[in-house]
Chains A and B, each alone.
Chain A
Amino acid sequence: MHNAFALRSNWSKRVSVVAIMAVLLGLFTGFCFTVICVIVRLLIVIRSGSKCKPGEKGPVCVLIVAGSGGHTTEILRLMESLSQSYSPRHYIIADTDKMSEDKIRTFENSKKDTGSKGQFTIQRIPRSREVRQSWSSSVISTLNALLYAVPLVFRLRPDMVLCNGPGTCVPLCAAGLLLGLLGLKRVLLVYVESICRVESLSLSGKILYHISDYFFVQWSTLKDKYPKSIYLGRIV
């Protein structure tokens, strides 16, 4: 009687172990499969950039990432050259940025004077990274910024994100990419590296080089190092 009981409990132990292993294997396989699907989908989305022509259907809605100081000055120089077909314009600035809002309003008000119609908004998100912030805390603050960036981009549904290097642009571009990944909207990522970058890309540039649809550099040395970039000389 004692033996039979021992045998049965042994057997049921083995069954439980096998069952648990089967479930874990199933989960693991499912996980690998999902990851592969996501990667394939990501590659498909990234490669579809050149076919995406939002200008053909009407005005192009732009999300503009304004970093602090020189970044904002440069991005406004670029915005100055764009026609009124680029509207509405949503400017995103970091919550700790005090100067950019004034510069943007002055710029947009001057556009109104020249009879250029089109609305604009200014929104704030947490800063991804302060200058010289450590790598580990930057990852956390960038993820925090992502939590704001995703709902913002999902709500605005821009045709294009325009940025030029501040850390703030990484979560916003990631959110734009996510929108495309989920099949909700193909958001074009346009990156213009700062004129200060002659020999090396900024950290944002290095991250976004591979996923941007149009990546501009302003010096030929960078074009040599990053062949997929677009070089039109100095554009700010």
Chain B
Amino acid sequence: MKRVFVTVGTTSFDDLIERVTSPEAVQELKARGYQHLVLQVGQGSILPDSDSCHELTLEAFRFKDSIAENIKCADLVISHAGAGSCLETLGAGKPLLVVVNDKLMDNHQLELARQLHQNSHLLYCTPSTLTETLKTMGLAVLSSFLPGQPKHFADFLDRALGVQ
């Protein structure tokens, strides 16, 4: 069963939740073979009912200690532009579609999402272009994300500090 996991981290992002559960977006997801939609809504005011959607099986919750399991089971992750969510998803090797909250002012988190998009690690859209993106997205072009190398840091520091 193909699953989509939607996450907004610790923020509230009603626009995304509204758009992704709209009939048009749900149609697109169904057309692509997704059958299960899980929503992590954070502090948002919209918490959809599990029987509010007839086309897909829906599950919604606010917070969990860890969304690692949800990410692991997902075939597609749709996320806000938070660094933690992005890096956790890419680290798990899952296709990622980042939805930018254009109502947030001076959002420095965008820098990372933009850079990762430039390096073709994720796809990028806004709530208003979500449905269109779901229709036309090509997940196969996404290049895999190599994890960071803290060892380079350790080696450098050992040399600089004279650690034996």
Interface residues of A (CB under 8 A from B): 50, 53-56, 60, 69-70, 73, 77-78, 80-83, 85-86, 159-160, 188, 190, 192, 194-200, 214, 216, 218-219, 230, 232-236
Contacts and interface: CB of A to CB of B under 8 A. Distances in A.
A196 B149 contact: no
Interface residues of B, number: 26
A218 B148 contact: yes
A85 B153 contact: no
B127 to A, nearest CB: 22
A233 B83 contact: no
7 contacts: A56-B162, A70-B83, A190-B157, A192-B153, A196-B111, A218-B148, A235-B148
Given A55-B164, A214-B160, A81 B87 contact: no
Given A53-B162, A55-B162, A60-B161, A236 B150 contact: yes
Given A54-B162, A85-B163, A219-B115, A195 B83 contact: yes
Given A195-B83, A197-B108, A200-B108, 5 more contacts: A53-B162, A54-B162, A55-B163, A85-B163, A195-B148
Contacts of B153: 78, 81, 192, 216, 232, 235
**Among all A-B residue pairs, the 6 with the closest Cβ atoms:** A55-B163, A53-B162, A81-B150, A234-B148, A81-B154, A55-B161
A198 B161 contact: no
A232 B152 contact: yes
Nearest to A54: B161
Contacts of A195: 83, 87, 112, 148
B84 interface: yes
A236 to B, nearest CB: 5
Contacts of A54: 161-162
User: Which of B108, B149, B153 gathers the greatest number of chain A CB atoms within 10 Å?
Assistant: B153
Nearest to A132: B106
A187 to B, nearest CB: 12
B157 A82 contact: yes
Contacts of B158: 55, 83, 85
User: Which of A73, A188, A196 gathers the greatest number of chain B CB atoms within 10 Å?
Assistant: A196
Interface in B143-159: 147-154, 156-158
User: Which of A60, A81, A85, A219 gathers the greatest number of chain B CB atoms within 10 Å?
Assistant: A81
Nearest to B162: A53
Nearest to B81: A196
B109 interface: yes
User: Which of B83, B150, B151, B160 gathers the greatest number of chain A CB atoms within 10 Å?
Assistant: B150
Contacts of B162: 53-56
B112 A236 contact: no
Contacts of B161: 53-55, 60, 159-160, 188
Contacts of B156: 214, 230, 232
B84 to A, nearest CB: 5
Contacts of B151: 81
A198 B114 contact: yes
Contacts of A190: 157
